[in-house]
Structure 1
């Protein structure tokens, strides 16, 4: 059951990042919108979780940085 949950989290991460990119690329969201940043942050966290579980450290590192960038962007939006 735990393995299935981790897989679902990983697939959510991939889907959220793709959705965020698609929505911005086609003009449905702005790059500075909170929804875009939330999709990026939650998606990146999902990829970090699945990557660490599978000991795939390159995507984990990339998405850890992606998460920090997204969190900073969110803080700038709200504070």
Structure 2
């Protein structure tokens, strides 16, 4: 079980780093859905790993990061739905 949790943590760290590199090199918009989803996945994966290892400061940081990600994705989905509804009218 520990190996699986560690792999989840490593995948989360790699995902967050990938998103950061892509945004920093202007290959991905920092305010776009792909970036937000990568950050959300990465933060959830790291939250699982750090909670398992009882690293509570990191767990809380990643939980907050995930809440920010869920909020951003929700706002983007809502805005897209509104735009589609306006265009259909």
Task: Give the aligned partner of residue 84 of structure 2.
Answer: none
TM superposition score normalised by structure 1: 0.95
Greater RCO, 1 or 2 (C-alpha within 8 Å, sep 6+): 1
- In structure 1, stretches of 5+ residues that fail to align are none
Count of residues in Structure 1 that have an aligned counterpart in Structure 2 = 78
Deviations 1:6-64 (A, max 9, x none): 11100011001101111000001111111101110010011111101111000100010
Task: Give the aligned partner of residue 13 of structure 1.
Answer: 12
Aligned-residue Cα RMSD (Å) equals 0.7
Task: Give the aligned partner of residue 72 of structure 2.
Answer: 73
Equivalents in 2 of 1:59, 1:3: separation in Å? Answer: 18
